[in-house]
Amino acid sequence: MSLFNRQYSMLPGFGLAFGVSLFWLGLIVILPFAALIVSTAGMGFTAFAHTLADSRVLASIRLSFASSFYAALINAAFGLLVAWVLVRYPFPGRRLFDAMIDLPFALPTAVAGIALTSLYAPSGLIGQWLDPLGVKVAFAPLGIVVALTFIGLPFVVRTVEPVLQGLERELEEAASCLGASRWQIVFRVVLPALLPSLLTGVALAFARGAGEYGSVIFIAGNIPRVSEIAPLIIVAKLDQYDLHGATAVAVVMLGISFICLLLINGLQWRVARRQGAGR
Amino acid sequence: MSIEVRQLSKRFGDFVALDQVDLRVDDGELLALLGPSGCGKTTLLRMIAGLDRPDAGQILFAGQDATTRHVSERQVGFVFQHYALFRHMTVFDNVAFGLSVKPRATRPGKAEIRDRVMSLLKLVQLDWLAGAYPAQLSGGQRQRVALARSLAVEPKVLLLDEPFGALDAKVRKDLRRWLRDLHDQIHLTSVFVTHDQEEALEVSDRVVVMNHGRIEQVGAPDDIYENPASPFVTHFLGDVNLFHGRVEAGSLTIGPFAHAVHGLDDAERAVAYVRPHDLDITWVADGALAQGRVAHIHAVGPLVRLELQRDDGAAIEVALPKERYRELGITPGDVVYVKPRKLAVFPGGADYAI
């Protein structure tokens, strides 16, 4: 009886490879988290609760997750559109367009933060038009959403793109022959097929957004209880040598992120299981 | 519903996919479009469906111009080579799709959809798999689901693009026989594309042989096989031996050999096409086309296949009935003569390469 239901393979070495992977995962991912939790456990429950009861901390955590949620939603819609255009329409400069998608990946996040701030500040290129309308982007929560949208775009585009490439046009043609309208083709044939990859991309963008620091702190203005994100609180606490306070906030963020990812993964698993079973 | 194609042309860049094609598909007929890849057969099918637009020409459905009609309004069922099933839907939902996307006014009720889908699944013998997802089916089953799906909207025409192309040989044979039976049951005007001459000849009422965007020949399967109209058709329908010579005073002369042919004008250059099973082997040169040395003998099965080598190195393939082979007593290395029982002579010297 084998625990892993191994099959004969041209490339043996499952035991070694599995062992190394497990060790690596432990060293790189699990150990730091464990250290975090151990460190937090050292502070005692009262101190932990006291740190979290601070309305400034709570507001920052709420802001971090809410803004990355909205940013992920925006990216779901527009990332999908960008991926669609990239895959489906040949146009001059497509390669350049394609390369630019990765800029948010490659750019130091501080650069992005400064660039966005100068654009959206009340005196900036876009900000000067929004300011008279009463729309405040820079130094407000809206600015955080803008920064996180920028950061998260490639995650959605790059996960949806390959799936879209593999989606046969014949599916659309088949639907059309069966009398489906364009909307019916999009909503009943194309979107359901893309849903698992779209969910993955959104989950990645969301997770990345919740932890984003560099680009946000410039545009957010960091007004306590208004536009102060949780990662900034952690850094601030560390600056004051409040290691326990910092880890307490970190553990809560870790917990929430983990639950969110589990939920999305579960959803995605359900969708994928129906479509891909045995493929 | 009959289909008529008039002077249909299509180019993709410099490539001429269809060159002024005229074709008529009669009501209730099962027609095969046969040809090598790139001959335009799939393009023609897709244009009948409305999936591609012609550059010039007309398509008529039951005498009415349908050239600019949108796919979704043509009432055609289309079956794709790679099934194109919706992976996120069950077999049932796939088949029900065409009914469920109808506008509310004409959409049948839930119970009616259910009955229609289940009876279609029974027709393709897959009612027991209604709840399965396409990923759980075999290739043959998927194609039958695709067929049921296309029939669900009660199309006036059924179009199949290499429907069995992706299946293995055994399943393919079963399915094409099954398609023929199905057609005999429902008598839906059907056009199917294939590059497999056996498939075309076995299944269809009429075969259209295409090459380079043009129709080479249209006819009943046996007619096409027995009386190919061009060297290309001869070549495409099966193995064939070529003999180059000239036609002179009622006989085909090939080097020292002469074979009587009737009703042919004299020609400086001519090519005779003879199928392996239309060649006989003799020990005498009289009436023969060529001589050759027996290189290989494959004696498995009811036909004995012999490979002869001519002096110039070219090979001749002969398929003899077993009794005839025994009677002749040939052994490898013998020098023998080949005599045609039936041959097709086309004037002109060009070899027809496929």
Q: Is B305 near chain A, with CB under 8 Å?
A: no
Print burial letters for A194-222: b (CB count within 10 Å at least 16), e (below 16). Answer: bbbbbbbbbbbbbbbbbebebbbbbbbbb
Q: Please report the ipTM that was assigned to this predicted complex.
A: 0.82
pLDDT band for position A7 (cuts 50, 70, 90) = low
A contact test, residue of B88, B120, B129, B151 with most A CBs within 10 A: B88
A170 chain-B contacts, CB cut-off 8 A: 80, 82, 84
Contacts of residue A277 in chain B, CB cutoff 8 Å? 133, 135-136
What pLDDT is recorded for position A278? 41
Q: Chain B residue closest to A170 (CA)?
A: B84
Sign of CA dihedral B44, B50, B55, B60: positive
* A36 three-state secondary structure: helix
Continuous segment of H or E residues that includes residue B295: strand B290-298
Nearest-Cα distance to chain A for B258, in Å, is: 56
Characterize A244-262 residue by residue with b for buried, 16 or more Cβ atoms within 10 angstroms of its Cβ, and e for exposed.
bbbbbbbbbbbeebeebee
Rounded to the nearest angstrom, the minimum Cα separation between B109 and chain A is 17
Going from the C-alpha of B259 to that of each of B192, B249, B250, the distances in angstroms are 40, 11, 9
Task: Note down pLDDT in tens along chain B; length 354 residues.
Answer: 899 999 999 999 889 889 999 999 999 999 999 999 889 999 999 999 999 999 999 999 998 999 989 988 888 999 999 999 998 899 999 999 999 999 988 899 999 999 999 999 998 889 999 999 998 999 889 999 999 999 998 899 999 999 888 888 888 888 888 889 889 988 899 999 999 888 999 899 999 999 999 999 999 999 998 888 888 898 888 888 888 888 887 888 888 888 888 777 788 888 888 999 899 998 888 888 888 899 999 988 888 999 999 888 888 999 999 888 888 888 888 899 999 988 888 887 555 444
Beta bridge partners of B2: none
What is the rounded average pLDDT of the residues A111-136? 88
A140-164 tens-digit pLDDT: 889 999 999 999 999 999 999 999 9
Residue A102 has pLDDT above 80, yes or no: yes
Residue type, A217: I
The CA distances from residue A81 to A74, A153, A163, A166, A191, in Å, are 11, 11, 14, 16, 11
How far the first Cα of chain B sits from its last, in Å, is 35
**Confidence label for A177 from pLDDT (cuts 50, 70 and 90):** very high
Mean pLDDT of A218-236: 87
A168 contact residues in B (CB cutoff 8 A): 82, 84
How far, CA to CA in Å, does B126 sit from each of A40, A83, B123, B131, B246? Answer: 60, 37, 8, 10, 59
Chain A contact for B133 (CB, 8 A cutoff): yes
Distance CA B178, CA A247 (A): 69
Judged by CB atoms closer than 8 Å, whether chains meet at A180 and B87 is answered as: no
Q: Is the pLDDT of residue A74 over 90?
A: yes
A176 contacts in chain B (CB < 8 Å):
51, 71-72
Answer yes or no: is pLDDT of A275 > 80: no
What whole-number distance in Å separates Cα of residue A268 and Cα of residue A276?
Answer: 12
Say whether B82 and A275 touch across the interface (CB within 8 A): no
CB of B107 less than 8 A from some CB of A: no
> How far apart, in whole angstroms, are the C-alpha atoms of residue A211 and residue A252?
12
Sequence-distant (≥ 6) Cβ neighbours of residue A120 within 8 angstroms: A126, A127, A130, A137, A138, A143, A146, A219
Please give the pLDDT value at position A127: 85
Instruction: Spell out which residues of chain A touch residue B86, defining contact as CB-CB under 8 Å.
Output: 171, 174-175, 189, 192-193
Interface contact A177-B72, CB threshold 8 A? yes
Chain B residues closer than 8 Å to A178 by CB: 72, 97-98, 101, 149-150, 152-153
pLDDT at A269 over 50: yes
B78/A177 CB distance under 8 A: yes
B267-274 and B241-248: which strand pairing? antiparallel
Three-state DSSP state, A259: helix
d(CA B102, CA B108): 8
| pLDDT higher than 70, residue A279 | no
Instruction: Determine the pLDDT at residue B353.
Output: 45
Amino acid at A236: A
Mind telling me how many Å the CA of B210 is from chain A's nearest CA? 24
In chain B, residues 143-202 whose CB comes closer than 8 Å to chain A? 146, 149-150, 152-153
The H or E element spanning position A214 is helix A214-220
Question: Would you say residue A210 has pLDDT above 70?
Answer: yes
